[in-house]
Structures are given as structure tokens and as C-alpha cells.
Amino acid sequence: MSFFGKFKPSSTPSNPNVSPPAKKDPNAPQPTPLEKLLAPDSLEPVRADGSDKYFGFENYGSTCYCNSIVTALYYSEAFRDHVINFPSKAFLDSISDELEKSAANGGLTGHKNTSTTPYPNPMSPARKVAQPTSPGPNTPVKPEESKDSPEYKKRMAIQNGPVLDMTYDNSKKYGMDESLFTSLKDIFEAVIEQKSRIGVVSPHKFLEILRRENEMFRTAMHQDAHEFLNLLLNQVVDNVEMFSSQHAAIVLQAQANGGAPEKALSKTTTNGVNGVHTPSNGLDTRWVHDLFEGTLTSETRCLTCENTSQRDEAFLDLSVDLSAHTSVTSCLRKFSEEEMLCERNKFHCDNCGGLQEAEKRMKIKRLPRILALHLKRFKYTEDLQRLQKLFHRVVYPFYLRLFNTTEDADDSDRLYELYAVVVHIGGGPYHGHYVSIIKTQDRGWLLFDDELVEPVDKNYVLNFFGGEPQPGVQDAKQLACAYVLFYQETTMEAMLKEQEAEGNQQNKPRTSDAGTTPMDPSTFSPPNLSHLHHTQTVTDPPHELLDHMKPLAHAATAPVAPDHHHAHSQSAPAMPSVANLNVPKSKKELKAEEKERKAAQKAEEKALAAQRKESANKRMEAWRKQEAEMAQIMELSKQSAAEEARKRGEEPAAEKSGGGGLSRFARHGSMSLKGKPKIFGGGKDRDSSAGLPAVPQGAAPADTAPAETPMSPGGAGGEEKAKKNRFSLGRKKSTSLM
């Protein structure tokens, strides 16, 4: 993990020239790139559908997993519309009497005043520093802090507002119990109602409900964005279905009392519980399924009796295994390749009875309208006994069709377009940061990084293929890899239209607002500023995390001194290159070249010196705070041993295994491990909470395990729970498991 060592916290701008030429009045508000982008249309009325709203989300302390996913969902036009329009106005009107009644009886009052966390949340990093009265001791506000740092921009975003404090609960207005869905709906409606096109959402209530109902998200630790997506979709399904089943009861009750139910509702009432799935009177409870759900057909052929059995399984997202230098197309193909069920993963054949060897393949029978593609970058490695991040380079195109469909699938050549990428930034699964890059309806691609929203070039979207980090390459981009890809259904016509629009846009002269177009990267983020803090919207104080990145490179027992040593050893190989560059060349050339090198060397040395100083200070501070436990120290020293071994000239592969790096965060039995039950199939029982029993392949192909979390959606029967298991299908080759 030596590349981590390079990320020195030099948050002071090493180059003052980089900051924008706003020296005259530092307090004068500078339009942000987003404001500049929106400026031409600032006088136009705000759209009613919310498609021209560009709101950041406040980070409540490592809640970036939530922010990135919620934003990605918001910009799915279909999803947003459904959230806004459920329950439909017509339906609400029709049951308004019953609602009032039940409200009076206290029937529908859900959880009220259950707020357990104060508002505003003190965990919010951007907020914390925004209040000058209580500057966090760990985040000293440097007067000369760069205006280009994301931290600064995030704070400004909060300051400039408007900040939508989502502390209220409108669930009663929707005739629903308070739930994740109603809280999500609150957020969407608040954003849409807001007059301003930009601002920050403070999703207080949403997180409160999430944490109240889901133990695994209760801690302020880094969470898995994909698990959250899956949980959120499943809960929305539950909330919506529960609502309609409740109303089936209400309506029935009304009937019994002699009240005449709305005619249009009769279907619901007569069909009873089954009726909830039929879209009647605009009460379409299947919309989440319609959007995200697809069907997989798994064909299993028993090798003993040659009997083939078929099973259909629904999925809300697909989890695909990765291998280096592949495309998502190839990952999906592999997902549907024939797989042998053998050894400890045998198939229970009903025909011959008992566990048999079998061949199995899974193909997509019904294509979802929104394909949420989860790239399984967090893989359990046996030798390290923990999850490890895979940096494999996996390319993804802007447009996609699926090859792994069944022959009888409808519309099997459906065209998908990429509309959102959730990016994980960090060296391992237990820490890091999530951002999302999203295609908006008519503003091109935007980067949503918590509170910060910035326009980006279309090509920027392709920066997150991943790739094994190169030791010694000082490029933090190596840590950022696409984690969840959202493809949505589209048409050739729409694609052609968009391509033409893009071309026109590119051909527009840039002179009019040079430097403000999203095309011009130089307007934001000068390259040489230290933006490290991007990686740590985690609750841990910034430099504490840093401190973790660094010590990987040296022994944990000698915290302070080795840094210099480390830095030297890093730069050392560069030096000889200057001195004895030897090509049989004329003196003049040699001279010129030497000049080149010297310049480069000088610059490098300077930068290194500054970094060293900066980081040494930070680390000292951090070390004092650190309450390192024994096990962690052990782990760290193991890491550093590997690192040292690598330095001695072993192949870099040894070092690669340190990818998970930050052992301190390797909480054994962490919640996020729960989502990967099958990874542990047949593994040693190393931790009571993590070592879930092996799941027989045929029985429950659920990859993530929302059902294992205490979701307790009131009234959801056991059957519903079992159904939930089917979502988010992932698939592991038994051979590639360990």
C-alpha cells in the first residue's frame, strides 16, 4: 500500500497561484461551477417534476453510502415520479375519510418524536467546521485554506444553502406509517418544492429511521452502498405493499360499517390481499418491481439423472464477480456461464433424491427497466481472513445490451444507457468514501460528493474503471473505482438525439463563458491541491485515517521517525536517474537533459519536503490520540512487515495483498460482512456474527442478506421474508470462492 504513503495531508496549498484570482475580496461569493452552469436559465421557472434540481446531501458522518444511492435514485426519472405519486392523489382522496378516522383513533400514527439524535447532527463534518464557535479540535480551520478544496466547497454549500432540514415527517399526509419510504418521499418532495435549483438536503429523519430499523446501519461506520441500495429498495417495496394491505383492511372495514367505498376501489376490496398487486385506481404497488426487478431463470441439470429443473428468481440488482481486464459485458456473460455444482456445493435433486453433482446456468428471462449492476469489488480472501478490495480494471460503456438473456426473453436486445455511477474511493472495504456521478436530464453529467455538486465532463465518467494501483505512482485516482452502475432502459431514437445534442454542445464556441463550461476542468480542482479529505468523510478525524494509510509503509512500533525514511526511500530511486543518465549523446544533449531532470528533481524534492513536514506534524498529533489495541498493532506490524519485504525487492504482489490496508478498520464480524453470506460458505467459523453457515446453492441464492437484518416491517409475514431473500441475486462460482 505504499501509494497511500504518498497522500500527505498537505491541505495548505503548496502553490498559491492555483487559487482563483479572487484576491480582491475574499468574502465576495464566487459563483460555483454549478451556479455558472445554471446561470443562463436562472430566470426560467423551476420545473414541477424536479428534473432541474441539483441538491447535495449533507454527510452525517460516513453516510456517503446513503447520499450516493439516494441521489442516484432521485435522478431516475421513473423512480422519482413514482415516489412522488404514490399513493396517488385519487386514492388518497378516496380514503381520506378513513384516514381521518384512523388518525383520530391513533391507528396510523407511527413512531412519533422518536428522534434520538440531536439536530443538527454534530457528526456532520461539513457542518462542524461551518460553526466557527466550535471548531472541532481535529479539524483546525486554516485561514489560508484553499477555496478549491472539496472541504471548503462543501462547507460553502452548507453555508450558502438553502439547507433543507429534513427533520419532519409527513407520513400522515400520505396516509402511511412513518417509514423509509415516506421519509424518502419527504426528501424528494422538499427538493422539488424548493424554489432554488441548488442547495443541500440534510436527511436527518431518513437516517434516523434507517438506523432505528436496521441495526447494521446504526453505527457510524463505513457501510456498503450496494447493501444500502438493496435494503432501501426492499423496504420501499415493503412499505408500499404494507400500505395497500392496510388499506384493503380499511376499505373492508368501511364496507362493513355500511359506508360505500369508491367504485374504483372495489377491485382492491374484492380481491383482498391479492388485489394489492393489481394496479387499481392508480394504486400501483408494483412499481418498484416494474422498475428494478428482472427475472433470472436458473437451469440445473443433474449429472446423475440428467433431469433438468428450472427455477425463476426475481432480482432487484445483479451482483457480478470481477476479473482483471474485463468489461461489464464480460462479467455478465460469466455470470451466466455454466457452473458445476459439486463437492460441498452439490445440488439437491428431487428426482434422484439427495445431493448430486449438477450443471447450472442462470440467464436473464425478463430484463429490468433499470439495471443496477453491482461490481463485487469487496472479496473475501482466505489468507487475510477478511474482505479485500479488488482494484481490477473493469471497463463499462455508456450504452449496453445484454448477451446473457434466455432465448424466449422479451425485448432481449433492449438498449440501456448508463445514467449513474456510484464510485467507491479507498483502499479497502472498511473505510473510504462514496460519491455518485449522474447524468441529469439536460445538464450533462454531475458529480455528487455529499454536499458538493459539480458539473463534470462526459469523459470523466470513464475515469473509474479501476486498475491495480501502481506502487510509487502518486495518483489518488487509483483508489476510485466504480462500484454500482445504474443502466436505464432507453431507445435508439433517444440515443441518436442525445448524440446529436452532444455534438452541438461541443461545437458551441466556448468563448462566451470560457472557463465556466463544464468542459473546462481547470475551473475547478487544480491538479496539485491536496484533496485527500475526499477519502474520509468517515467519522474518523481526517488525519487519523491518514495516519492509517501511512503506517502501512513502516513499522507500527516506530511511528514517527520512519516517515522520513519512508519518504526518502520513495524518492531515492528517482535520484540516480538525474545524475547518471547515460545515453551516448552529444554533450549538448546531455546538458539539456540534465537540465530537464534537475528541474524535475528540484520540484519533486520541494514538494516532498513540504509533504514530509506537513505529514509529520499531523501524524504526531494523531498518534497521541490513537488508542491502538493490541490486535491492531499486531495487524499493522504484519502489514509493515509485508511492506518492508516488498521494499527489499520482493514482487509487488506481496504488497498488493495489503490492499485492505487499514487493519484498524477490519472489524471482524463487521456488519458489512453479513451481506456476503455465501462468501463464507464452508469457511471456517471464525466469528460468530460473520461466519454464517454455508448456503446451499439451490436453496437460497440470495447474495446479500437483507432478511437477516432486523427489518421487522410490521405485518410482513414469514412468506414475505422468504421472498425478500430472492432479491439482489449474486452468484459465486464455487470454484472461485476461496
Partner 1 sequence: MFVLPPPPRYPNGQLYTGMPGGALLETNNTLEHPTGPEYQLVVGEGTYVLRDDMHLATPPPHPSDAPQPNNNPLATTIGPPTAGTKLSTVVFAPKKPPQSQSLFRTTTTQSTRSNFASIQEESQGPKSDAGSTNGYGSRATFGDGNPALAPVAVKGKKKDERPKPKNNIVKSNSSFVSRVIPHESMAKRLGEHSPDGIFAFANVNRAFMWLDLSSPSDMKTENMTKVLFTKAHAICHDVNTFTQSTSHLDVILGFNTGDLIWYEPVSQKYARLNKNGMINNTAVNAVWWLPNKENYFLAAHMDGSLIVYDKEKEDAEFTPEESSPSPTENGYTSNGSTDAVPLPRQSRLNIKKSVQSRNQKTNPISVWKLSNQKIHGVAFSPDGRHLAAVAEDGTLTIMDYLAERVLDVHRSYFGAFLSVTWSPDSRYVLTGGQDDLVCIWSVADHSLVARCVGHESWVRDVKFDPWRCDERNYRFGSVGEDCRLLLWDFSVGMLGRPKIGAHRGSIGNGAPVAREKSHSFSAAGRMRSKSNLSTQPDDSLNGGEANGAAQGARVHGVDSKASTATLPPVMNKVVDSHPLSWLGFQENCIITACDNAHVREWERPKEGAGEEN
Mapped onto helix, strand or coil, the DSSP state of residue 122 is coil
Among 306, 407, 627, 719, binds partner 1 (CB under 8 A): 407
CB of 196 within 8 A of CB of 279?
Answer: no
CB of 88 within 8 A of CB of 182?
Answer: no
Q: HEC profile for 183-219?
A: HHHHHHHHHHHCCCCEEEEECHHHHHHHHHHCHHHCC
Three cell numbers, residue 139:
479539524
For residue 689, report the phi and psi dihedrals to the nearest 5 degrees. -85, -25
Asked if residue 17 binds partner 1 (CB under 8 A), the reply is no
Among 214, 336, 412, 436, binds partner 1 (CB under 8 A): 412
Within 468-487, the residues that bind partner 1 by CB under 8 A are 468, 470-480
Closest CA to 724 of 51, 261, 327, 230: 230
Asked if residue 516 binds partner 1 (CB under 8 A), the reply is no
CB of 51 within 8 A of CB of 440?
Answer: yes
Which of 166/549 has CB closer to partner 1?
549
For residues 36-48, b (16+ Cβ closer than 10 Å) or e, as one string?
bbbeeeeeeebee
Residue 263: alpha-carbon gap to chain centroid: 44
Q: Which amino acid is at 117?
A: T
Within 414-433, the residues that bind partner 1 by CB under 8 A are 415-416, 423, 425
Asked if residue 325 binds partner 1 (CB under 8 A), the reply is yes
Q: CA 501 to CA 381: how far, in whole Å?
A: 46
Q: CA 143 to CA 149: how far, in whole Å?
A: 13
Among 118, 527, 649, 718, binds partner 1 (CB under 8 A): 527
Three cell numbers, residue 99:
384516514
Q: Which amino acid is at 387?
A: L
Which of 105/586 has CB closer to partner 1?
586
Q: CA 119 to CA 82: how far, in whole Å?
A: 29
Mapped onto helix, strand or coil, the DSSP state of residue 129 is helix
Asked if residue 6 binds partner 1 (CB under 8 A), the reply is yes
CB of 11 to partner 1, least distance (A): 9
CB of 643 to partner 1, least distance (A): 15
Asked if residue 403 binds partner 1 (CB under 8 A), the reply is yes
CB of 472 to partner 1, least distance (A): 5
Which of 25/493 has CB closer to partner 1?
493
Residue with cell 478498520: 665
The helix-helix angle for 77-85 and 180-193 (nearest 10°) equals 100
CB of 605 to partner 1, least distance (A): 13
CB of 418 to partner 1, least distance (A): 10
Asked if residue 580 binds partner 1 (CB under 8 A), the reply is yes
- List 289, 433, 533, 534, catalytic entry: 433
Asked if residue 269 binds partner 1 (CB under 8 A), the reply is no
Within 339-398, the residues that bind partner 1 by CB under 8 A are 393, 395, 397-398
Counting residues that bind partner 1 (by CB under 8 A) gives 97
Asked if residue 141 binds partner 1 (CB under 8 A), the reply is no
Three cell numbers, residue 400:
449496453
Q: Which amino acid is at 721?
A: K
CB of 355 within 8 A of CB of 348?
Answer: yes
CA distances from 161 to 22, 168, 514, 545 (A): 21, 18, 26, 29
Q: CA 375 to CA 654: how far, in whole Å?
A: 24
Asked if residue 503 binds partner 1 (CB under 8 A), the reply is yes
Q: CA 40 to CA 304: how far, in whole Å?
A: 70
CB of 109 to partner 1, least distance (A): 44
* CA atoms within 13 A of residue 342's CA, in its CB half-sphere: 9
CB of 584 to partner 1, least distance (A): 6
CB of 503 to partner 1, least distance (A): 2
Contacting range for partner 1; rule: CB under 8 A; set: 214-222, 306-314, 575-583, 687-695: 575-583
Which of 570/632 has CB closer to partner 1?
570
To the query of whether residue 433 is one of the catalytic residues in this protein, the response is yes
Three cell numbers, residue 568:
526518502
Within 68-127, the residues that bind partner 1 by CB under 8 A are none
Asked if residue 574 binds partner 1 (CB under 8 A), the reply is yes
Asked if residue 599 binds partner 1 (CB under 8 A), the reply is yes
Asked if residue 641 binds partner 1 (CB under 8 A), the reply is no
Among 191, 232, 367, 400, binds partner 1 (CB under 8 A): 400
Longest dimension (CA), the chain: 105
Asked if residue 502 binds partner 1 (CB under 8 A), the reply is yes
CA distances from 319 to 18, 60, 67, 700 (A): 42, 28, 21, 15
Asked if residue 679 binds partner 1 (CB under 8 A), the reply is no
Asked if residue 449 binds partner 1 (CB under 8 A), the reply is yes
Contacting range for partner 1; rule: CB under 8 A; set: 537-545, 603-611, 689-697, 710-718: 603-611
CB of 611 to partner 1, least distance (A): 8
Asked if residue 235 binds partner 1 (CB under 8 A), the reply is no
Asked if residue 585 binds partner 1 (CB under 8 A), the reply is yes
Within 533-572, the residues that bind partner 1 by CB under 8 A are 534-535, 570-571
Binding mask 195-234 for partner 1 (x = CB under 8 A): ----------------------------------------
Within 20-39, the residues that bind partner 1 by CB under 8 A are none
CA distances from 361 to 334, 339, 687 (A): 10, 6, 32
CB of 508 to partner 1, least distance (A): 12
Within 143-162, the residues that bind partner 1 by CB under 8 A are 150
- List 64, 66, 302, 349, catalytic entry: 64
Sign of CA dihedral 132, 133, 134, 139: positive
Catalytic residue positions, numbered: 64, 433
